Amino acid sequence: MACIGKWTLLMSIALLCGCSAILGQSEKRKVHVVYMGNSHANPEKATSLHQKVLAKVLSGKEEVARSMVYSYTASFSGFAAELSTIEAASISKMPGVVSVFPSSIKKLHTTRSWDFLGLSTTSDHGLPTGGSNVIIGVLDTGVWPESESFSDKYLPDPIPSRWKGTCVSGDSFNSSNCNRKLIGARMFPNGYEQNFGPITGPGEYRSPRDAEGHGSHTASTAGGSSVQHASLFGLAEGTARGGTPTARIAAYKVCWFGSCTDADILAAFDEAVADGVDLISFSIGGSPQDYFSDSIAIGAFHAVQNGVFVSSSAGNSGPSAYTATNLAPWLTTVAASSIGRKFTSSIVLGNNLSYKGVALNTISLSNPWYPLVSGEAIRNASSPLANFAKYCYDGTLALDKVKGSIVVCYGGVGAPDATVLAAGGAGVILVDSFDKSIGFAFSLPCSVVGNADAKHILKYINSTSSPVANILPSITTVDDSLVPQTGIFSSRGPNVITPDILKPDITAPGVDILAAWSPVSSISGESIDNRSTSFNIISGTSMSCPHVTGAAAFVKSFHPEWSPAAIKSALMTTATPLDGDKKFNKDGELGYGSGLISPTKATDPGLVYDADTTDFALFLCGLNYTSEQVQLISGFSNFSCPQELPSMNDLNYPSIAIANVHGSLNKSIIRTLTNVGFSGNVTYTVHIQAPKGVSVTVSPSSLNFDAPYQRLSFHANFQANSLPSEQLYLSGALTWTDGLHVVRSPVLIWPASSTVQ
């Protein structure tokens, strides 16, 4: 019988320990978020708890200190730390932990708009009345404090005494950059730096200063001061202002070089709530996740729980269905739509024919004519990518043919304007039907045309030995009769996490929006473009989101006591559907939600669908969260999910969605309305616009309110033997009216077999 000596045994143990250590060290630790639910009463005890949890998987105080990135203690409990996959899995099984997830990277969703929305200016200096006590927090790329949009010239009132925030110092930024308008500015770089290393070098400031322009644009759209004669080199000239120009602004920089980590986002949410903001504008997003493995949903939940309204962008992945992001029901998710304004740049050919393209072309060509060539015809035959010459891809063009010429390029690959400019070209005619509805800035004279016009231009090139052309500067065309349309880029529903919650919630102007800009940031996004401006015109749900923040701030200035859900309801139920017959908006409510915001109407909605943490706790039960999980999230220590789990449809939401209907339909829902209108006796009657083929009954059909803030409920039943097979989804509406107020809720139904396009 063989036996093992003690040295052999000890050597085996040493080898096993060594191998284990090597295995533990071979996986590089990554930043994870450990979410532990509602905040503790004592922040110091919360931080101590976080350290103890971390110490259970790490060895020693020094390793715990090195690993810890953030400790979240103000509005919720949790921490961000560098963990291996095994360590993260171990923590996820510990008592008191709701979820553990990697800190992923989120991305930015990149004057006249407020006039278009009917928000009048009624006080001195053209500022809407009220609002100076409302504080808007903007989580974004920072702020350019010297912009006129952040001037406190017309804000004589002192900063609200409840404000607890501050202005932190950093690169080219200190406390003197804040004032009575920009009352706070913080930065959150830890999560980014743990992933990518120190923030240094050109192109970024390690401070709240905005090097990108996006944060200044969104902040000024939400609550910027009025600035007369604002324009992008003469385009869209007028008065630029936020939805509530007298509101205070606090900037929270969470994005660095265009990337925004979950760890930094959660730290900013936590700090903003502690600072005392009333609203948060968040124009950032990522892929939809389970709500409590999603930094945005987590941060927003606890912000709303603390009375802070949160608006978020739906995303720029349209026009495909199921692309909307930021889907939690406590978020107000915003789509983007057009306004009655276009920027056109004419292309004049040597045969005296002209074609009207779309672009933000602010550059005048000095000569009357320039040689006109097609990128495909001047390909660099020696390039391995010569087949991409049609797209003017870098390295695919014969440089001697480009110099001094206007080049016809097709969109879709690379940055043709930068390629042509670098080669000494004079301009670009870009062929791209997708982008023809939106004005973009380019690094040299450029105009965008569709395929039909491109055929005529190419035919002209082939018809003569010396084709020539010119591209004229853009002009602004205003036509209020134009029907607002959902931006082609704007992400569409349905909601991929909870289909019975309609998303997006609402739409607002997000196409060709003029607002403040960082003068060190490229206008066109190309590093070769060195033009500088204080205002820029850009598009995206990033631009529509702060419109809703500004509108919500306007409503809150009239009703400071209203909950975030009440403000959201007021905005949604007073919104205007973009076009009833869906001639211009074929995706209907899946594109624009309840419709286009109307801020003035939202100040007097009559009734609201209110909701609080208890409502959301029951909603989570319906999503199969356990009672213990809901207790941690909500902070309700004695909460228990009911034995019969609630339906998603019964959340007191301002819109109604019934998804995945199999065969026949027989669905009842309940809603509760709160009277925020007349203090006397008032009766509301329901008007039903039934979806095609669906029978809808509402009981009671009238609601009699005799006191302010009285709550009354109704049941709505939806029945159908079968849903029309020729339609992908069915839409209708339930509208309550007292003859003065109109409280409208869109209704959307789609069968399980439907593939929404």
> How many percent of the chain have pLDDT more than 90?
79
pLDDT at 678 over 80: no
Q: Which residues of 140-164 are buried (b: 16+ CB within 10 A; e: fewer)?
A: bbbbbbebbbbbbebbeeebeeebe
pLDDT at 321 over 50: yes
Return the closest-CA partner of residue 37 out of 637, 631, 639, 638: 631
Supply the residues annotated as catalytic.
140, 214, 542
Task: Give residue 663's pLDDT band: very low, low, confident or very high (50, 70, 90).
Answer: confident
pLDDT digits (tens, 9 = 90+) for 242-257: 999 999 999 999 999 9
| Amino acid sitting at position 120 | S
User: Looking at residue 9, what is its pLDDT?
Assistant: 26
Q: What kind and span of H or E run contains 460? A: helix 451-463
Whether residue 319 is preceded by a cis peptide bond, meaning omega within 30 degrees of 0, is yes
pLDDT at 102 over 50: yes
Q: Which residue has the tokens 């969470």?
A: 254
For every residue of 498-529, DSSP letters joined together read: -TTS-SS-EEEE-SSEEEE--TTS-SSS-TT-
Tokens for 665? 């339909």
| Amino acid sitting at position 211 | A
Please report how many Cα atoms fall inside a 13 Å half-sphere around the Cα of residue 281, on the Cβ side: 37
User: Looking at residue 754, what is its pLDDT?
Assistant: 61
pLDDT at 6 over 80: no
pLDDT digits (tens, 9 = 90+) for 565-600: 999 999 999 999 987 666 677 889 999 999 999 999
- The mean pLDDT value for 397-423 works out to 91
pLDDT digits (tens, 9 = 90+) for 636-655: 999 999 999 999 999 999 99
> How many percent of the chain have pLDDT more than 70?
91
User: Looking at residue 8, what is its pLDDT?
Assistant: 27
pTM summary value: 0.92
Compute the mean pLDDT over every residue in the chain, rounded to the nearest whole number: 90
pLDDT at 14 over 90: no
Strand partners, 702: 685
User: Looking at residue 72, what is its pLDDT?
Assistant: 97
pLDDT at 20 over 70: no
State how far the Cα of 431 lies from the Cα of 673, in Å rounded to an integer.
Answer: 51
Q: Are 287 and 102 in contact (CB under 8 A)?
A: no
- The mean pLDDT value for 63-69 works out to 96
For every residue of 247-260, DSSP letters joined together read: SEEEEEE-EETTEE
pLDDT digits (tens, 9 = 90+) for 343-391: 999 999 999 999 999 999 999 999 999 999 999 999 999 989 888 899 9
State how far the Cα of 345 lies from the Cα of 463, in Å rounded to an integer.
Answer: 24
For every residue of 524-553, DSSP letters joined together read: SS-TT-----SEEEE-SHHHHHHHHHHHHH
- The mean pLDDT value for 27-43 works out to 92
